[in-house]
Structure 1
């Protein structure tokens, strides 16, 4: 069908006006006869429109800054054509300007070639100036301008130019239409793209396979895969390009099964896949097929190209197969920044941190400049160890040098790195330098303070976030609620619970678990149960938090009932933390036999090897029950060397049961492991005091002084009128400390008069160390 039909489109106002209206292009019709969504793109482009007028040659104003150039000769046009063909742009522009000054006609063909070269050289300003001054324009000129706009990221201006081309009377062809479709694709201009589809059908451009392929790409990027399928079905001569376009469309929209089905159909028809087909299908296939495709690529040498090798590397990265990824990486003859970054990310995710660093150093040595993805990947390798922590600061300096430190992705990766390495000051300083922090940035500074023990700062940061008009996400809220739990700040915790209710994330697993933990630690076990019941789904952390809440509040029976319910729930398998909570519950209520049963159950039934914490808990259970010899037997039967915490637990039990001999044994074992544990000295000294061995108690205290060991004072918090007060024993920093200690003395006198002070406390008060 001859391409003579010309669609009439309503005049499109310049992009600086309010809207780009193509409504006269049969707005109620579209190729698939189904209702269309009302989607008209904003018409204000990111680039100025052309003047679209024939210049006044007598005007004294010139379109360019003019300089004296080469002498004009009758062969200048031929020379200009040669310069353009050789892509010698500076020389070509100098000659072109001189020819324009002297009024020599360049010709529409040559000017179109020059525009195309300028656009490809990323000089759209100059291309528009040449276009503005052209006395005539043909279809090649307009197509070069539209394609150039798409290439330089000005898709909206490309659509506007296509409309103006039609209004100027220039008949469209398949190249111009394809360029216009690409412009619509770049800006997701669905309504305009549908009208272009109408133009293609009416003008007979469907005979051109490239128009159909452009439409498939357009509809797939707009999320309308069903329309892409209809376009594909209308292609009469299917080839590898058309199959690849629809396979890519499926993969782009996560329809991987459809992509594989179409790939199988292509192979069944005897159509051999090309490089683009293989790289597209690698995003959809299962590991076994991916390995087969790898073999096919090696056989056909497709893997030798950077593009295909990078796609193969991405496939192995997604499937967590590091060794094959390394093999592909090291066999690549050429590597780009994406290749290096993928390999670094692959190593980091697999925990091979030093390999990631070696690859990063190799990248820098090869002269490849790291981009945002590279930095966000390699920063994940930085850990609290001295070597890797120092590396984080160096990477921060390098990102500043590359002027991408404040790119939000890099900045967030830096925040996460400082949080992991415990550098809270650097974390907060960097956060304050970010001009527009996002939810991830706020969450990093909130959770970073929480993870490093700065619970009060975590709460303050979330309040700042909310005050600045940002809404926290579930992770930021859960960190702050956990900080409230650590501080036993019930009032603040309830306020954040209300915020979670308002945001609708109280039933989220992450936030719900934090709420269960909060109320459990604050002694509100009923609220903890309610938070648990409000959650739609529970993970192992949910059950563990509930069990610990029961255990720490002396509800041993309820804790064991919760364990039974958990075991009846599908996919809820207890872990080490679950059994530790069970043992804590048994310890607090004296369930010795149940503790022994669960201790055996964890290894016999669930194949969980008891840790030092589990053994220490069993020692505590036996010690509280007065069965110290059995506690010592448990220690002696441990499959590994007992640590300080285990022996200290036994020492504490000896103090409780007033068993001096066994207490001295436990203390001796502790001092063999460390001579700096102040609490052990205190316990041993008090144990001697309880038995009236004052000289031995004094010897223990003297050893503490000789070793310069200071008992770290216990810190307490109390919340009064929404203000948290923190203090230690004998603290005089409070402005009303004199009144406080006077009242405290009155309380002690009342206790003494009522004879409530037990012998144990007298010994501690007399001989030492204020805790």
Structure 2
């Protein structure tokens, strides 16, 4: 609004000076008003122009396209040509940024007709490359690009974006390499596009060096692209270094850093970053809330998650898709399935992830009936289930011992919804059947699987063998598991336990000795507690906490009190 106000003052000065009808000044005013979002004012300036020329019409067409009013832009183009004015390359470039496919092809024909098949208008032909790319015509876009004798950095970026739209990231990076080879220096946009396509740590660091070489690291778009690249490749320390060097991080910077930390398992850091972001005066968006609530779910920080829920309510983000789905997930993982359902009900729109989060939440809480009811409601509302949906349904059936229903949904997934079960689906079915001692069916299912069983399949079967003390199939599962991965501590522990159950102490000892010889150790379980918004994690016999001495001293006092209480209860019972 401040920029618009200054612009209006300049406009007033132009009117007073008698320049209101000047074509050049009018074109500048149209551009100013359109960039400030005041399209009616831009149109009013054009209407007051005495004899609008090609530049004036081009400014108006650009204004309409910039503000999403393509029909008005097309009308202005027709009016311009009816006035006997031929569009120039800038006019056509403006219209190509927003036009539908049919008109774009007509403009291509017009270019060939008026400028020849070898037209070298770099602006309009680059816009054509982008136009064909947006409309899925990769071959035509490539043909236009290859006919360009003079390619600027925008042309190369258009080709890179074409390949990125098609998911051909390596080809996009190859185009970037070709651009460098032809002596075209990358600008901030080219580097941002290349970083967005980069999934390799080595190449990502090279691009970072290139950004430093060309003095582009101060550009916020490049910095944000670097944050995203380091986040995707798991280099969170490098991400932190980039973030700390950004002089004025914007909303995208903070959101990218929060999301990267959350996705890489640094939930506490993601939470701290959102708090820091708030202290810097930024308002979190839907994606920031989604990431930080996921982090709260991962570290089981219910209090912190509820505080962020209150903030989302205050900012009106709680009913948005990403935040709503994250709230369902957070409350489910923190044991508050009722609150998860309330978060679901508040949402105005539910996508497949919303329903999946609710179904998985019920599955985690062992409430198969509510999970199946949610599945039924999901289908009734016209939302098509996906593979994750069926995994949640199978998990709920498994946790509740509903084997027949689980088998029915497994067949339904294949026969009616045409999904090919993934290893996770098979592992769930194997666990379900194995828990019921149906080992012959389990082995048949493993043999009929369309892919080679992975470690998860054999580990699941091995756990069922321990439950039912099935030594023979347990040996088979353990052998197959060792072939895939001989570094998995769980397979050794499970097999040792099965031998011990059958009194095969010598074999149990051999398994334990082999485990020791190969240097494999079972990771200790971890527990945590939240005190004053700080999460403290503990493992068995853990001495890493700075207050370990006082913690163990208090634990000893509690044990002594409990033992004394037990002794008093024994005396009381003996007296009775």
- TM-score w.r.t. the length of structure 1 is 0.68
For 1:693 and 1:717, locate their aligned partners in 2 and report how far apart those are by CA, in whole Å.
37
- 2:372 and 2:393 in contact (8 A); partners too: yes
Which residue among 409, 421, 446 is the counterpart of 2:233? 421
Report the 3-state secondary structure (helix = DSSP H, G, I; strand = E; otherwise coil) of the residue aligned with 2:282.
coil
Which residue among 348, 360, 382 is the counterpart of 1:548? 360
Query: Equivalent residue for 1:190?
Result: 8
For 1:589 and 1:573, locate their aligned partners in 2 and report how far apart those are by CA, in whole Å.
24
Query: Equivalent residue for 2:464?
Result: 653
1:485 has 2:300 as partner: no
1:79-478 equivalent positions in 2, closer than 5 A: 189-193=7-11, 196-197=14-15, 216-217=30-31, 219-226=33-40, 228-229=42-43, 243-264=57-78, 273-301=87-115, 303-383=119-199, 388-478=200-290
- 1:38 and 1:191 in contact (8 A); partners too: no
Query: Equivalent residue for 1:521?
Result: 333
Report the 3-state secondary structure (helix = DSSP H, G, I; strand = E; otherwise coil) of the residue aligned with 1:251.
helix
Which residue among 373, 379, 384 is the counterpart of 1:561? 373
Quick one: structure 1 residues 266 and 430, their matched pair in 2 at CA, closer, same or farther if it must change by over 3 Å? closer
For 1:655 and 1:731, locate their aligned partners in 2 and report how far apart those are by CA, in whole Å.
29
Q: Deviations over 1:564-592 (max 9, x none)?
A: 1111113x211111111111111111111
Q: Deviations over 1:42-85 (max 9, x none)?
A: 5xxxxxxxxxxxxxxxxxxxxxxxxxxxxxxxxxxxxxxxxxxx
- 2:332 and 2:340 in contact (8 A); partners too: yes
RMSD across aligned positions (CA) = 3.1
How far the C-alpha of 1:615 sits from its partner, in A, is: 0.8
Q: Deviations over 1:72-106 (max 9, x none)?
A: xxxxxxxxxxxxxxxxxxxxxxxxxxxxxxxxxxx
Query: Equivalent residue for 1:535?
Result: 347
Report the 3-state secondary structure (helix = DSSP H, G, I; strand = E; otherwise coil) of the residue aligned with 2:449.
coil
- 1:259 and 1:284 in contact (8 A); partners too: no
For 1:642 and 1:40, locate their aligned partners in 2 and report how far apart those are by CA, in whole Å.
64
Query: Equivalent residue for 2:574?
Result: none
Query: Equivalent residue for 2:386?
Result: 575
Query: Equivalent residue for 1:604?
Result: 415
Q: Deviations over 1:363-407 (max 9, x none)?
A: 223332211111111111221xxxx21111111122112222122
Quick one: structure 1 residues 220 and 494, their matched pair in 2 at CA, closer, same or farther if it must change by over 3 Å? closer
Query: Equivalent residue for 1:184?
Result: none
Q: Which has the larger radius of gyration?
A: 1
For 2:415 and 2:444, locate their aligned partners in 1 and report how far apart those are by CA, in whole Å.
20
Count of residue correspondences:
563
How far the C-alpha of 1:532 sits from its partner, in A, is: 0.8
Quick one: structure 1 residues 749 and 685, their matched pair in 2 at CA, closer, same or farther if it must change by over 3 Å? farther
How far the C-alpha of 1:723 sits from its partner, in A, is: 3.4
For 1:746 and 1:465, locate their aligned partners in 2 and report how far apart those are by CA, in whole Å.
46
- 1:40 and 1:192 in contact (8 A); partners too: no
Which residue among 506, 523, 533 is the counterpart of 1:712? 523
For 2:42 and 2:209, locate their aligned partners in 1 and report how far apart those are by CA, in whole Å.
47
For 1:749 and 1:300, locate their aligned partners in 2 and report how far apart those are by CA, in whole Å.
100
Report the 3-state secondary structure (helix = DSSP H, G, I; strand = E; otherwise coil) of the residue aligned with 2:535.
strand
- 1:197 and 1:215 in contact (8 A); partners too: no
Query: Equivalent residue for 2:434?
Result: 623
Report the 3-state secondary structure (helix = DSSP H, G, I; strand = E; otherwise coil) of the residue aligned with 1:726.
strand
1:725 has 2:536 as partner: yes
Query: Equivalent residue for 2:555?
Result: 740
For 1:213 and 1:447, locate their aligned partners in 2 and report how far apart those are by CA, in whole Å.
43
For 2:16 and 2:411, locate their aligned partners in 1 and report how far apart those are by CA, in whole Å.
74
For 1:429 and 1:335, locate their aligned partners in 2 and report how far apart those are by CA, in whole Å.
35
For 2:432 and 2:365, locate their aligned partners in 1 and report how far apart those are by CA, in whole Å.
16
Quick one: structure 1 residues 242 and 445, their matched pair in 2 at CA, closer, same or farther if it must change by over 3 Å? closer
How far the C-alpha of 1:614 sits from its partner, in A, is: 0.6
How far the C-alpha of 1:270 sits from its partner, in A, is: 7.7
Report the 3-state secondary structure (helix = DSSP H, G, I; strand = E; otherwise coil) of the residue aligned with 2:452.
coil
Quick one: structure 1 residues 708 and 347, their matched pair in 2 at CA, closer, same or farther if it must change by over 3 Å? same
How far the C-alpha of 1:718 sits from its partner, in A, is: 2.2
Quick one: structure 1 residues 424 and 231, their matched pair in 2 at CA, closer, same or farther if it must change by over 3 Å? closer
How far the C-alpha of 1:476 sits from its partner, in A, is: 1.8
How far the C-alpha of 1:471 sits from its partner, in A, is: 3.0
For 1:359 and 1:266, locate their aligned partners in 2 and report how far apart those are by CA, in whole Å.
38
Give unmatched runs, 5+ long, in structure 2: 570-576
- 1:313 and 1:343 in contact (8 A); partners too: yes
Report the 3-state secondary structure (helix = DSSP H, G, I; strand = E; otherwise coil) of the residue aligned with 1:710.
coil
For 2:120 and 2:532, locate their aligned partners in 1 and report how far apart those are by CA, in whole Å.
70
For 2:422 and 2:54, locate their aligned partners in 1 and report how far apart those are by CA, in whole Å.
59
Q: Deviations over 1:482-520 (max 9, x none)?
A: 111011111111121122222221112111111110110
Quick one: structure 1 residues 651 and 364, their matched pair in 2 at CA, closer, same or farther if it must change by over 3 Å? same
How far the C-alpha of 1:197 sits from its partner, in A, is: 4.9
For 1:230 and 1:627, locate their aligned partners in 2 and report how far apart those are by CA, in whole Å.
79
Quick one: structure 1 residues 369 and 521, their matched pair in 2 at CA, closer, same or farther if it must change by over 3 Å? same
- Say which is worse superposed, 311-320 or 681-690, in terms of deviation: 311-320
Report the 3-state secondary structure (helix = DSSP H, G, I; strand = E; otherwise coil) of the residue aligned with 1:304.
coil
How far the C-alpha of 1:238 sits from its partner, in A, is: 7.8
For 1:390 and 1:364, locate their aligned partners in 2 and report how far apart those are by CA, in whole Å.
17
For 2:103 and 2:163, locate their aligned partners in 1 and report how far apart those are by CA, in whole Å.
23
For 2:384 and 2:211, locate their aligned partners in 1 and report how far apart those are by CA, in whole Å.
44
How far the C-alpha of 1:555 sits from its partner, in A, is: 0.9
For 1:406 and 1:276, locate their aligned partners in 2 and report how far apart those are by CA, in whole Å.
30
How far the C-alpha of 1:421 sits from its partner, in A, is: 0.6
- 1:715 and 1:726 in contact (8 A); partners too: yes
Give unmatched runs, 5+ long, in structure 1: 1-36, 43-188, 755-771
For 1:249 and 1:738, locate their aligned partners in 2 and report how far apart those are by CA, in whole Å.
73
For 2:482 and 2:563, locate their aligned partners in 1 and report how far apart those are by CA, in whole Å.
35
How far the C-alpha of 1:613 sits from its partner, in A, is: 0.6
